[in-house]
Amino acid sequence: MDYTKLVSRNMPAETRSHPGIGAETDYVFSVTYSDADMMPTTELADALKALMPSEGKSLAMYPPPQGHIGLRELIAQRLLENRGIDVPIESIFLSSGAGGAIGTIVDGFIDPGDTVLVEEFTYSGTLNMMLSHRANVVHVPTDEDGMDPDALEAAIKDLNAKGVQPKLIYTISVFQNPMGITMSEERKKRMVEISQRYGIPIFENESYADFHIDGDPLPPAMMGMDDQDGVMYVSAYTKLLGCGLRLGYGVAPEPVMDTLRKLKFGTSPSHLTAMAVYGFLSEHADEYVPSVADSLKTKRDTMLAALGEHFPPNCKWTHPNGGMMLWGELPEGADTWNALDAAIEAGVKYNPGSMYRADGEGNNKMRLTFSYHNPDQIREGIAILAGVFEKQGLFDNA
């Protein structure tokens, strides 16, 4: 059967990913997997076992459209305590990972030709969803305090002058993926002002907010600073408790919920998973969340030390205060996209910088994740990677 002529014209446009990225390798520095050494396997099973007598029969039915009520209550409480967001559970919907909530919002609001403003480099999953919807993605200069509000305002004015009103400002404001940056409180306030002045909603992704390793406390989320229904928010427990759990959530003001309701909130997570996460977090969040951050601290420091030992000084690495990744800059002209095949051959995967740009620029940059492997594996993998880059001449043009 030849299906090529049958493919729908609505198929997403081609997006950018390296063909080798799906290969199996011994060292995976390309994915923000959860910290495998911290997976609370026994406690998750115990949590389910404890809840089954009271909640097990509810599995016979479809779950509530916005997901498990107890878990949404717990999310509302944690958002208030930790992120300065005060919302009722009616504003929260559970999703299949943060990616599920992002997909539903993108489905609800992005038409072909719409313009979206994003950070200088941004999470490839969202980028690909935007590009699949044939959005025009505009990258805004970003420094160590986050997206530059002056540059953002200049980009908006420039677009407005051409008759274009951007649809969304998308930002990963905490331990940004891939750059590791956390937006300062002052910047966040300015972002909210700009959003309100120009009537462009902010779409805030805080998927890494649970992973605060050291440094200043995190500034509150923009959603809590806004009083004009101007911010939508997504986060997840995938990175904290296991990517395989596919448990994320979105928070949105009522006018947005109205649209998302028509989309039935997209793909919901399994109710059984929601029960397990609810039971686990109710009992263990207070000691578990900091223990994961402690483990990530060791891994971050191990990776930075290995990079210092094996990579030359003309390669620069961020030193993020949290999250799961390092962002690196190699000498001008080094091509991490082309070198990836050789690295995979040697057993190591990473993500080239251009995966995070709509225009495919930035291949002397790269992202390394430190969350999954143990410190010995991190040391081994980084030594191998440095050997590959050396051989491929990536360190040469200083």
Ligand X SMILES: Cc1ncc(COP(=O)(O)O)c(C=O)c1O
Residues in contact with ligand X by the rule CB under 6 A: 32, 97-99, 123, 125, 172, 177, 205, 207, 236, 238, 243, 248
Beta bridge partners, 119, equal 140
Q: H-helix or E-strand containing 231?
A: strand 231-236
**Is the distance from CB of 215 to CB of 321 less than 8 angstroms?**
yes
Closest residue to ligand X using C-beta atoms: 97
Nearer to ligand X, 268 or 392 (CB): 268
Nearer to ligand X, 32 or 295 (CB): 32
Nearer to ligand X, 205 or 392 (CB): 205
Nearer to ligand X, 126 or 336 (CB): 126
| Closest distance of CB 346 from ligand X, Å | 24
Q: Which residues contact 139 (CB under 8 A, 6 or more apart)?
A: 118, 119, 120, 121, 122, 357, 358, 359
Residue 28's φ and ψ, nearest 5 degrees, are: -110, 100
Nearer to ligand X, 32 or 321 (CB): 32
Cα distance between residue 205 and residue 169, in whole Å: 11
| Closest distance of CB 188 from ligand X, Å | 17
Nearer to ligand X, 118 or 194 (CB): 118
**Is the distance from CB of 195 to CB of 230 less than 8 angstroms?**
yes
| Closest distance of CB 205 from ligand X, Å | 5
| Closest distance of CB 166 from ligand X, Å | 20
Q: Which two tokens stand for residue 102?
A: 């992002």
| Closest distance of CB 247 from ligand X, Å | 8
Nearer to ligand X, 251 or 394 (CB): 251
Nearer to ligand X, 250 or 381 (CB): 250
List the one residue out of 93, 94, 90, 74 whose CA is nearest residue 82. Answer: 74
List the one residue out of 371, 376, 377, 373 whose CA is nearest residue 32. Answer: 371
| Closest distance of CB 227 from ligand X, Å | 26
Cα distance between residue 382 and residue 304, in whole Å: 10
List the one residue out of 290, 180, 387 whose CA is nearest residue 395. Answer: 387
| Closest distance of CB 277 from ligand X, Å | 12
| Closest distance of CB 100 from ligand X, Å | 6
Instruction: For 351-395, give the DSSP string.
Output: EEGGGG-TT---TTEEEEE-SSS-HHHHHHHHHHHHHHHHHHTTT
